[in-house]
A and B are shown apart, each in its own frame.
Chain A
Amino acid sequence: AQTVTQSQPEMSVQEAETVTLSCTYDTSESNYYLFWYKQPPSRQMILVIRQEAYKQQNATENRFSVNFQKAAKSFSLKISDSQLGDTAMYFCAFMKPAGAGTALIFGKGTTLSVSS
């Protein structure tokens, strides 16, 4: 069975600084998808970034980028130029490809606090 581990329950960073959230996963699949979702105090789940395992290039979305290390089964999220609005809980999630079960498997989350 697949598992997702986020080893940092809480992190804090100052505005404009860079922070990296870690995520490791365990799977025997060779092709899969990885996601980072953000859950601000409103509790809405917002997609931050997505990575296909067959792509070697790391995904980027504006200030958000990932460091995907397939051999190490590691998928960290880097937030550059942190903003107060980035304060949220961040969840790493794994999904097998279509036809093999499409449930997202989530880690327990990392609470990020950005201060001025």
Chain B
Amino acid sequence: NAGVMQNPRHLVRRRGQEARLRCSPMKGHSHVYWYRQLPEEGLKFMVYLQKENIIDESGMPKERFSAEFPKEGPSILRIQQVVRGDSAAYFCASSPSTGKGLTETQYFGPGTRLLVL
């Protein structure tokens, strides 16, 4: 069973360009989470999605950032008009749906390292 897949692993963008990060959850997982890790910091929650729905985006900046998890295909985190402060590692995690209201463990992908020049 393949783990959480993220691509690209490394992404370099110039200021003002768009960054598009992809995440394919583990097979059978219907919940996706995005986190950002700044240098020397822990991970910070950005957004939680289920198929075709954003459930919680309380950690995502209001401007330039958006996320989706379409019915078909991977989840996408999009950053428009990137700035140097967006340079960070972006991690995706997924968890299964138990259907019982239980909290399930989140399993992480390898991350995408975004560098903005």
Which residue numbers of A lie inside 8 Å of B, CB to CB?
A: 4, 33, 35, 37, 42-47, 50, 91, 95-99, 101-109
Question: Contacts of B43 on A, CB cut-off 8 Å?
Answer: 45, 91, 104, 106
Do residues A99 and B101 form an inter-chain contact, with CB atoms below 8 A?
A: yes
Q: Roughly how many angstroms separate A98 CA and B100 CA in the complex, as a whole number? A: 9
- Stretch in B66-74, B76-84, B106-114 touching the partner: B106-114
Q: A98-B103, A102-B95, A104-B93 are in contact. List 10 more A-B contacts (CB 8 A).
A: A44-B110, A45-B43, A45-B111, A47-B107, A47-B108, A50-B105, A98-B102, A103-B45, A108-B41, A109-B42
Q: Given contacts A91-B42, A101-B56, A107-B42, are A44 and B111 in contact (CB under 8 A)?
A: yes
Q: Roughly how many angstroms separate A105 CA and B44 CA in the complex, as a whole number? A: 7
Contact residues of A: prevailing secondary structure:
loop
Q: Roughly how many angstroms separate A91 CA and B40 CA in the complex, as a whole number? A: 12
Do residues B101 and A98 form an inter-chain contact, with CB atoms below 8 A?
A: yes
Q: Roughly how many angstroms separate A50 CA and B107 CA in the complex, as a whole number? A: 12
Question: Contacts of B107 on A, CB cut-off 8 Å?
Answer: 47
Q: How large is the interface on B (under 10, 10 to 19, 20 to 34, 35 or more residues)?
A: 20 to 34
Most buried by B among A45, A101, A106, A107: A45
Q: Given contacts A95-B103, A108-B41, are A103 and B59 in contact (CB under 8 A)?
A: yes
Partner pick for B48 among A96, A102, A109, CB 8 A cutoff: A102
Do residues B111 and A43 form an inter-chain contact, with CB atoms below 8 A?
A: yes
Residue of A whose beta carbon sits closest to that of B101: A98
Name the distance in Å between A89's Cβ and chain B's nearest Cβ: 9
Q: Given contacts A103-B45, A104-B35, are A33 and B103 in contact (CB under 8 A)?
A: yes
Question: Contacts of B21 on A, CB cut-off 8 Å?
Answer: none
